[in-house]
Structure 1
Amino acid sequence: MTGTDVHEETDDVGPGGYAAARLRLLTEGARSGPPRRTALAGLTDDWLAGLFTAAAAALPGVSLAAVGGYGRGELSPRSDLDLVLLHDGSDPRAVAALADRLWYPVWDLGLALDHSVRTPAEARKTAGEDLKVHLGLLDARHLAGDAGLTAGLRAAALADWRNQAPKRLPELQELCADRAARQGELRYLLEPDLKEARGGLRDATALRAVAASWLADAPREGLAEARRGLLDVRDALHLATGRATDRLALQEQDQVAAELDLLDADTLLRQVYEAARVIAYASDVTWREVGRVLRSRAVRPRLRAMIGGGKPVAERSPLAEGVVEQDGEVVLARTARPERDPVLPLRAAAAAAQAGLPLSLHAVRRMAATTRPLPTPWPAEAREQLVTLLGSGRPTVDVWEALEAEGLITRLLPDWERVRCRPQRNAVHLWTVDRHLIETAVRACELTRRVSRPDLLLVAALLHDIGKGWPGDHSVAGEIIAQDVATRIGFDRADVTVLAALVRHHLLLIETATRRDLDDPATVRSVAEAVGTQGTLELLHALTEADALATGPAAWSAWRGSLVADLVGRVRAVLAGDVPDEPEPAAPSAGQERLAIEAFRTGGPVLALRAQPEPVPDEERSDDPEPLGVELLIAVPDQPGVLPAVAGVLAVHRLTVRTAELRALSLPDDVDDDSTVLLLNWRVAAEYGSLPQAARLRADLVRALDGSLDIAGRLAERDAAYPRRRGWTAPPPKVTVAPAASRHATVIEVRAQDAPGLLHRIGTALEKAGVRVRSMHVSTLGANAVDAFYVTSGAGAPLPGDDAASVAGVLEETLRE
């Protein structure tokens, strides 16, 4: 219901004209923020109190209390009203009648209501059985009636919470963990749930509950601001959508950003991520402290040194100079002097990651407050400790987050600020830019045995996307930043050159392997010229795999890995002095020749499906999101429309094309010395289920070639059945010509939204343009198709520059339709 709906339907509602006043507050008042939430809660308090007073008359022993978010005064425009009607049990009928006179006006306004009617004893009993009810009662706030009744219940609920804390807090922690597993990390989601995701408003409420137990408390610095920020976004989201939603959907982010006077949706997401990071880190520290306190109550430490009859002192085990372990955390030694030891933060972080232990909040804050900046260039120990930290595997993530939370990372690496919490609007990426860089270092750690310079691999992993905070090509910007950072942290000139090259070319291998013809010597030579040395190639190969694995499951597979390995092998040979010869047309195999002859004699297409050997064992292949598939061989007498017909039939049968090669094959003289047959050698995989039989594919291909199978109509029906995101439009396709990519063909690159029949549409457009497709290389990343087509003129030569540009323009226009 919109604000206008409320106004029109409730002109005569309730004391003080609540509906009209609420509408004015939400549409004409201040922007989202604490003052408006407070004003809305106050307005609602007065209205409900008026309803209660009018309905209760002289009824004793009853009160109305707000609980949960309303109890905290956090009333967003579409928030539920969480209410409890308390009574002493003396007159149940009168209480039931009072409840009706309270709840129905709320429902009549279209407001969501979460209500209960209980005696204090019933409320306490329900809270003891239901953790969520108990959490709501911790924030109980009196609205009307017998104030003593409300105060008594709140005091009892708090006392019960504190008395039962050793049991209830582990339950609450498990509840938070289960919710995080379902909803994910708010700070990494493109469409986050502001309330339920980890680091959201639910977690902030849980931290309040932990503090109310008096057992532990959350780090308070920045926590209130983070909570306020998320509430402000939720307010704006409610107003933008007119719904009680907590999910910040893509199509609503620009409107929410405008409501908050922010530059754009990316700025909005970055602020949301910053707030979520503060809350998530506070949660980690708080639950760790809860565990420590509960363990100390339940189990005596293995060693206790009593000092003068005082409190027991936990054992301290040295880890590094100035760094010790105490009670499961890494803390500073008593002799540590951060103000005199600028390397201490890196040394402590490396020691913590190596030991798989968290850094103490107190230690991090002390180092952040007192440690002097490192000199430029860094001393050798600082550089070594950074490499050790990056090479510690999965524990690096939490240790890095601890340093990040107190501003130590941006102090060590000022360029980090531009990638901090920066969203990546690409469904392939699981993480923000900064977390992706750390995740790449974690993945690179697993590959350090493959390279001779693991230190360069780890630092390149940390820096490869550092240019994403700058305009333009992030690889180009990143190369300049990497040179500066590598020099600052103390690498020599030769190493700086290698690191800069790795950052500049970190996408070179995967893009070339999946979008270029590896049999074309020009392809391999261009990569060899860019890489330069065997050592750089070795590092780039490992970085490519680490980067893709850290991106997400759609970015790496056995198929992509095999293509990259093939390319690396060819480039390695060129760098070793083995110059590839210009490729001669490969002679057809006996099987291919038999297919061609059969196609000529039957006058129609002939198909064969052959399984391809996999490069990985079966047990490692089961979860591969992009299997190699099978080889599909098709021979068909040379005629127009073969490419769009084959692509269309495969799309109808839900087959995904991995790679495709097309060639004209002359028949042996003893068969026919004048005719040619088109031979298509494609690798395909089923979208789901099993592959169709070759006979079915052939029958449909025959119909497609003679025009009796309406491929376009069948694909249009499928496209119409696909669910579409409301309010969201895919970016327009882009078609470009890759200059000097091949001496034998013109390479046309297509970037577009993946959809059923995309290859059919492209093939149709190229057919109409009068060009022949020699081969194509298909790559799908999430919802994005990135395909390369090697095309020639009818005579088999590359297209002149103007003709190539014209074909690309026509193809782009066709795909935009």
Structure 2
Amino acid sequence: MTESVEETAGPDGAGRPADAPVPGQDGGYPAARLRLLQDETAIGPDRRAALARMTDEWLAGLLNEHATAAGLSGTALVAVGGYGRGELSPRSDLDLLLLHDGRADTAALAALADRLWYPVWDLGLALDHSVRTPAEARKTARDDLKVQLGLLDARHLAGDPELTGALRTAAYADWRQSAPKRLPELHDLCQERAERQGELQYLLEPDLKEARGGLRDATALRAVAASWLADAPRGGLEAARTRLLDTRDALHLTTGRATDRLSLQEQDQVAGALGMLDADALLRQTYESARTISYAADVTWREVGRVLRARSLKPTLRGLLHGRTAGKGDRSPLAEGVVELDGEAVLARTARPERDPVLVLRAAAAAAQAGLPLATHAIRRCATATAARPLPVPWPAEAREQLVTLLGAGTHTVPVWEALEAEGIVTRLLPDWERVRCRPQRNPVHTWTVDRHLVETAVRASALTRRVHRPDLLLVAALLHDIGKGWPGDHSVAGETIARDVAARLGFDARDTAVIATLVRHHLLLVDTATRRDLDDPATVGAVAEAVGSTGTLELLHALTEADALATGPAAWSAWRGGLVADLVKRVAARLAGELGTQARDADEPTAEQERLAVEARRTGGPVLALHTRSEPPADAGDGDGAPAREPVGVELLIAVPAHRAPGRRPATAPAGTPGVLPAAAGVLALHRLTVRAADLLLLDPVDEGPVLLLRWRVAAEYGSLPRADRLRADLVRALDGSLDIPTRLAERERAYARRARAVLAPPPRVTVVTGISRTATVIEVRAQDAHGLLHRIGRALDTAGVAVRSAHISTLGANAVDAFYVTGADGEPLADAAAHEVARAVERALQ
């Protein structure tokens, strides 16, 4: 059924008018049509247009001949739908409307219609037809959205042109008047069809017309544009639609049937008819076209939703707007240079992407973490700047961190990544991505194309970040594990080489690069070994241990194996497979622990500057701060064009505070609610909108000089400029003496910015007691989603539990916090096992 008019069944062979011509007797239209379809030089849009013109002339001749013979006037033959657009594929339906002014005799009209429809049926062509007055056509359109859409493409073929012209004018006026009501209905139809047919860009046997991103969606975008409410991004849209039409033409000619489904057994023939190398090349082009149309549809429907909201209407637009929306015209900051505006992440007015090549990744990460779409104009502005002034290689640390944050946003990563891909940014940032982009996977176990599978694996891995000590390496390895599928040979072997290059490009050091390469090389090792080898054989476990090399890499490989399988499809992972892999991992971990032993880590030694600050803190009796500005090297360094260097991106902040409640000296009844040094310092940084990227805490406790707590922070402004050191110190003094109520201030700030709270459904925090790490303290490890005041809450929980923090090592990897706290009891000794686990549970409760 097309979108033009209701379908009417053809005749059963009886009832042919006695004087109806028998097609083909004179070799006219049928013979000319056959010659055109067999002409290999007439292909694509030219053939479709020629076939439409030829059909126009034939049908116009039929109407003129029989209307004149019957003495009928006030009639017109109108093409609607795809035929109305002048696009006829070899087996396309003919969508026809016999229009009349209502004055003709009903029997005479019926006879005329028979003389028009029967020749079409006799040629074996599908026909959707109706006979109506203009008023009847408009009434039917008001009742049936598909009829209304078909009338938007109405084209006069023969008869009275004024009838057709008046109907077209009225149809467009009706559509524009009813668009606020009908567009939500059209969107629902598109969504329901997508749920039934799937996404064309990922299907091995796609329906070129009905699947999401297919020809139906392209037609819907034309209807939206005709409403004058919104318009689709034009870049590449018409070319994508033309490629799908060309593929459908070849499919019709190859099969001899009116089909839109590109079946596996026909793909090689269709590819050959289009002059392509093979079926994979055909599918890749088809996927690229569908991706262009899908992206245009997403952007267009968001714009429709925005316009309707601006008109204060309340349509049901299911799924048009993703995430929460700010009030109309409000700008809520998300990150440096990025704000939320009307339900989208957009660039701030002061943003300068031409001077800040990291901005595109920062904007993408902020959008994904907030569950917002990234505005098209923002992406295109960044794309232009990125093309003119790309990121330096290796990437600066901030760029790498923003990529990890984007990958860790869960399902919200996908639409933002697809938007970056649509504008060519991904392949510009990661040139090796081009070989896997839109690449089909012939294995029916796989749900996605190679590139979407890689992104989907990162999505799955984001839910497993609490299980690993380096979530950043897990997420990057997930994105790269199948990157070798764009090259000949074993994709794991090729992928290892590519992963090394990409990891180095991203700015990972040699050790981290080696881990990522190992994960990519052996991403199939655990599942293949667990399901195909004897796990009781020591040689099996030994081979895996040798390949992996360390317990940390094994931990990452285990999570990657699960994420990869879950992203492949429902048949790739099961409780049975998961159990076998877990058993293998347990055996290999025991083998590695026995070979490598455990390496205890004691407190770090203070630097000379920390010693100087400690002396000053003891002398003054209050906190001492030192700030060191950190600037990334400018992306344009050395190009000689005089462009300014980048602004500072963060600082190293050193704090020395006399510890009045040092280990072993803590009063039995400490003042309730008095903040400790760690939660006080962390809370002050949070109040000043400083994001903690890394931190170390060290307690100096010489017997004769008095204890001093040293804190070294690597921080960056969440947005805006860095705060002044004197204001930080003043607030820290107030926090330490209890006059600054940090929990209340943080709660107020959270309420003020509740609208922009992150939408990511993060895995729950995980707090564990780690053994074998230190001889002089108990190590409490916290893995959680980074958030405002997170370190403050952890510090308060430890302070409330009555333990002393002797040292701490804080890391923020993308959006994940991985923190280790070395704590002791009141006696300065490590905690007993039961007490340590109770402290861990208390911290975990504080983070929930």
TM-score, normalization: structure 1? 0.67
Residue 251 (structure 1) aligned to one of 265, 290, 310 = 265
User: What is the one-letter code of the residue matched to 2:279?
Assistant: A
Deviations 1:417-470 (A, max 9, x none): 000000000110000000000000000000000000000000000000000000
Residue of structure 2 equivalent to 1:344: 359
User: What is the one-letter code of the residue matched to 1:45?
Assistant: D
CA distance in 1 between counterparts of 2:239 and 2:339 reads 33
User: What is the one-letter code of the residue matched to 2:86?
Assistant: G
CA distance in 1 between counterparts of 2:251 and 2:280 reads 15
CA distance in 2 between counterparts of 1:298 and 1:12 reads 57
2:22–2:119 Cα contact (<8 Å) kept: no
Q: Does the C-alpha gap of structure 1 residues 266 and 27 become closer, same or farther in structure 2, counting only changes over 3 Å?
A: same
Residue of structure 2 equivalent to 1:321: 336
User: What is the one-letter code of the residue matched to 1:499?
Assistant: I
Deviations 1:122-177 (A, max 9, x none): 11111111111111110000000000101111111111000000100000000000
Residue of structure 1 equivalent to 2:165: 151
Counterpart of 1:555 in 2: which secondary structure?
coil
1:13 deviation in Å?
3.0
Residue 118 (structure 2) aligned to one of 104, 126, 134 = 104
Alignment of 1:274-673 (within 5 A): 274-298=288-312, 314-371=329-386, 372-577=389-594
Residue of structure 2 equivalent to 1:24: 35
1:48 is aligned to 2:63 = no
Q: Does the C-alpha gap of structure 1 residues 328 and 313 become closer, same or farther in structure 2, counting only changes over 3 Å?
A: closer
CA distance in 2 between counterparts of 1:31 and 1:225 reads 18
2:23–2:122 Cα contact (<8 Å) kept: no
1:11–1:20 Cα contact (<8 Å) kept: no
CA distance in 2 between counterparts of 1:400 and 1:331 reads 15
Residue 134 (structure 2) aligned to one of 106, 120, 125 = 120
Deviations 1:318-358 (A, max 9, x none): 11111111000011111111111110100000000011000
2:23–2:123 Cα contact (<8 Å) kept: no
Deviations 1:240-266 (A, max 9, x none): 000000000000000000000000000
Alignment of 1:135-174 (within 5 A): 135-174=149-188
Residue of structure 1 equivalent to 2:219: 205
CA distance in 1 between counterparts of 2:433 and 2:42 reads 32
User: What is the one-letter code of the residue matched to 2:416?
Assistant: V
Q: Does the C-alpha gap of structure 1 residues 16 and 124 become closer, same or farther in structure 2, counting only changes over 3 Å?
A: farther
1:235 is aligned to 2:252 = no
Residue of structure 2 equivalent to 1:90: 103
1:11–1:19 Cα contact (<8 Å) kept: no
1:48–1:143 Cα contact (<8 Å) kept: yes
1:16 deviation in Å?
7.2
CA distance in 1 between counterparts of 2:227 and 2:427 reads 35
1:281–1:405 Cα contact (<8 Å) kept: yes
1:370 deviation in Å?
2.0
Counterpart of 1:142 in 2: which secondary structure?
strand
Which segments of 5 or more consecutive residues in structure 2 lack a partner in the other structure?
Answer: 1-20, 315-326, 597-848
TM-score, normalization: structure 2? 0.65
User: What is the one-letter code of the residue matched to 1:553?
Assistant: P
1:313 deviation in Å?
7.0
User: What is the one-letter code of the residue matched to 1:319?
Assistant: L
Deviations 1:39-71 (A, max 9, x none): 000110011011111111041110000000000
Residue of structure 2 equivalent to 1:714: none
Q: Does the C-alpha gap of structure 1 residues 207 and 483 become closer, same or farther in structure 2, counting only changes over 3 Å?
A: same
CA distance in 2 between counterparts of 1:424 and 1:74 reads 32
1:513–1:564 Cα contact (<8 Å) kept: yes
Counterpart of 2:410 in 1: which secondary structure?
coil
Counterpart of 1:553 in 2: which secondary structure?
coil
Q: How many residues align?
A: 559
1:367 deviation in Å?
0.8
Deviations 1:755-809 (A, max 9, x none): xxxxxxxxxxxxxxxxxxxxxxxxxxxxxxxxxxxxxxxxxxxxxxxxxxxxxxx
User: What is the one-letter code of the residue matched to 1:264?
Assistant: D
Counterpart of 1:394 in 2: which secondary structure?
helix
2:328–2:342 Cα contact (<8 Å) kept: no
Residue of structure 2 equivalent to 1:77: 90
Residue of structure 2 equivalent to 1:814: none
CA distance in 2 between counterparts of 1:11 and 1:466 reads 60
1:32–1:233 Cα contact (<8 Å) kept: no
1:51–1:101 Cα contact (<8 Å) kept: yes
1:37–1:76 Cα contact (<8 Å) kept: yes
Deviations 1:649-691 (A, max 9, x none): xxxxxxxxxxxxxxxxxxxxxxxxxxxxxxxxxxxxxxxxxxx
1:520 deviation in Å?
1.5
Residue of structure 2 equivalent to 1:684: none
Counterpart of 1:338 in 2: which secondary structure?
coil
Counterpart of 1:577 in 2: which secondary structure?
helix
Residue of structure 1 equivalent to 2:804: none
Residue of structure 1 equivalent to 2:234: 220
Counterpart of 1:331 in 2: which secondary structure?
strand
1:15–1:51 Cα contact (<8 Å) kept: no
Counterpart of 2:354 in 1: which secondary structure?
helix
Q: Which moved more, 1:88-97 or 1:120-129?
A: 88-97
1:30 deviation in Å?
2.5
1:366 deviation in Å?
0.8
Deviations 1:52-99 (A, max 9, x none): 111110411100000000001110000000000001111222111110
1:32 deviation in Å?
3.2
Deviations 1:260-316 (A, max 9, x none): 00000000000000000000000000000001110111169xxxxxxxxxxx97011
CA distance in 2 between counterparts of 1:455 and 1:358 reads 23
1:14–1:47 Cα contact (<8 Å) kept: no
1:39 is aligned to 2:50 = yes
1:17 deviation in Å?
0.4
1:59 is aligned to 2:72 = yes
User: What is the one-letter code of the residue matched to 2:99?
Assistant: L
CA distance in 2 between counterparts of 1:14 and 1:381 reads 76
Residue of structure 2 equivalent to 1:188: 202
Deviations 1:382-435 (A, max 9, x none): 000000000111100000011100000000000000000000001100000000
CA distance in 2 between counterparts of 1:476 and 1:190 reads 26
CA distance in 2 between counterparts of 1:448 and 1:44 reads 62
CA distance in 2 between counterparts of 1:32 and 1:167 reads 40
Per chain length, whose mean CA-contact separation is higher, i.e. which structure has more relative contact order (CA < 8 Å, sep 6+)? 2
2:23–2:119 Cα contact (<8 Å) kept: no
User: What is the one-letter code of the residue matched to 1:520?
Assistant: D
Alignment of 1:778-789 (within 5 A): none
1:31 deviation in Å?
4.9
CA distance in 1 between counterparts of 2:23 and 2:133 reads 33
